[in-house]
Structure formats: structure tokens, C-alpha cells
Amino acid sequence: MSHDIHPGSPDPELPPVLATTAWVFDMMHSEGVPLLPREPEPGGEGDQPGPLMVTLTVIALIMVIVAIVELL
């Protein structure tokens, strides 16, 4: 299974933390990484979060918190 490297870089028009946060969410979306596990089917267990989803979500949340603190 091959992975394409996500082209582009953070938007230079936005403040650095917001641009990087938007870029991380865009990368997650382009890779098909859901932000939340799907609801379980009746009788099923649903999706378990994988390490990539957990790592990218934690990084994105930290960046959002830093961006909010910078705006205050």
C-alpha cells in the first residue's frame, strides 16, 4: 500500500498556527482519516481509532488551543 505525499504547504495568508492547523486537517481529510469513529452497526463494535487518527487529532487539537491562546 503506497501513500502519496500531500502536496502544498500551510497557507501564507493565515497566522502560522492557524495555517498549520488547517493544513493538518486537510492532510487528515485527504488521507481519509475520520475525526471520530463511526457509529457501530447493530450488533457490531464500530471503528476503533487507529494510531494515525489519534496522533493527528491530538496534534490538531494542540494547534487549535495554541491558536486560541495567541488570539487572546
Classify residue 46 by its DSSP letter. -
* pLDDT means over runs of 10, the chain (72 residues): 51 73 76 65 65 80 84 78
Does the pTM surpass 0.85? The reply is: no
Give the ranges where 12-50 is alpha helix by DSSP (H): 16-30
Classify residue 58 by its DSSP letter. H
The pLDDT score that the predictor gives to residue 3 is 44
In angstroms, how far is CA 50 from the centroid of its own chain?
Answer: 13
Q: How far apart are CA 1 and CA 17, in angstroms?
A: 32
